[in-house]
Amino acid sequence: MNIHGSVVSAREIVLSTEGVAAGYGGDDIISNISVAVGKGSIFTVIGPNGSGKSTFIKVLAGLLPARTGEIRLGAMSIARLSAPQRVAAGLAYVPQEFNIFTNLTVGENLRVSTEFLERERRASAEQRERVLAIFPEVAGRLGLRAGYLSGGQRQMLAFACAMMAAPTVLLLDEPSAGLSPKFVAEIFDKVKSVNAMGVTVVMIEQNVKEALRIADIVLVLVNGATRLLATPDDILTKHDLHKLYLG
């Protein structure tokens, strides 16, 4: 494992894990994952299929418990918090699938996205306007039933819903999966726009070319373990991804 600590040390740590292991049944899918995500950065996780990427982000989101290890949001331990409690603490998650209510309108999806939170954490009118300004495709379809949206539009809506709670850290599980090239480019532009607002992004992504283009630091997972933690430039100039993936 090669860890470039100087990449992270220049920033305040906003999300970190130490020795995290998790899995399903009796087997660990990921083991001994220790990372530190700098505030305001785009932290991207890549790796071959079956490497544990989605398992890792589900553990961060609170959808799968860590069997061992620690997870911190800033200085606060969140390893034992439920998924809704993590949202209330400032962690939002956009799953790859089933990420909107297709029977509700676009506007209703935005409204219910923070209804489960305590009143002081629910989306304010100001936050709603900020979100709609970032996602004009969503703003122009508030009365439309979400089931009529295209795949790319649904992903934009899911992204917008996650932003309604004004998260500190946004977790994205393969945001470009299954999208047309047009929407792939737009999704990555939205990631950059949200990050420019100060939101830290942790993103699982199979589109390695686009992921490396916008990432500040990249974690390469192989067989559930850290193979490399480095900047995109280091990966592109000093390493062969094919060899990294194959071990």
- Would you state the pLDDT for residue 196? 94
Please state, in angstroms and rounded to a whole number, the distance separating the CA atoms of residues 165 and 119: 11
- Mean pLDDT across the stretch 149-173? 93
Please state, in angstroms and rounded to a whole number, the distance separating the CA atoms of residues 151 and 229: 32
CATH number reported for the structural domain that contains residue 63 in this entry:
3.40.50.300
Buried/exposed code over 17-34 (b: 16+ C-beta within 10 A; e: otherwise): beebbbbeeeebbbbbbe
Q: For residue 43, report the phi and psi dihedrals to the nearest 5 degrees.
A: -105, 115
DSSP letters spanning the chain: --B-HHHHHTS-EEEEEEEEEEEETTEEEEEEEEEEEETT-EEEEE-STTSSHHHHHHHHHTSS--SEEEEEETTEE-TTS-HHHHHHHTEEEE-SSS-S-TTSBHHHHHHHTTTTS-GGGSPPHHHHHHHHHH-HHHHTTTTSBGGGS-HHHHHHHHHHHHHTT--SEEEEE-TTTT--HHHHHHHHHHHHHHHHTT-EEEEE-S-HHHHHHH-SEEEEEETTEEEEEE-HHHHHHH--HHHHHH-
- Mean pLDDT across the stretch 92-102? 90
Nearest residue to 220 (alpha-carbon basis) of 239, 201, 237: 239
**pLDDT at residue 11 is higher than 90:** no
Number of domains in the chain: 1
What does pLDDT average to over the chain?
90
**pLDDT at residue 1 is higher than 80:** no
- Would you state the pLDDT for residue 247? 64
Best-predicted range by mean pLDDT (106-110, 123-127, 128-132): 106-110
Please state, in angstroms and rounded to a whole number, the distance separating the CA atoms of residues 113 and 119: 13
Q: Residue 75: which pLDDT band, with cuts at 50, 70 and 90?
A: very high
- Would you state the pLDDT for residue 168? 96
Residue 10, burial from CB neighbour count under 10 angstroms (0-12, 13-18, 19+): exposed
For the sheet containing 27-38, what is the strand order?
27-38, 13-24, 68-73, 76-77
Beta bridge mates, 35: 17
- Would you state the pLDDT for residue 123? 59
- Could you tell me the residue range of the domain that residue 130 belongs to? 5-246
Q: Does pTM top 0.85 for this prediction?
A: yes
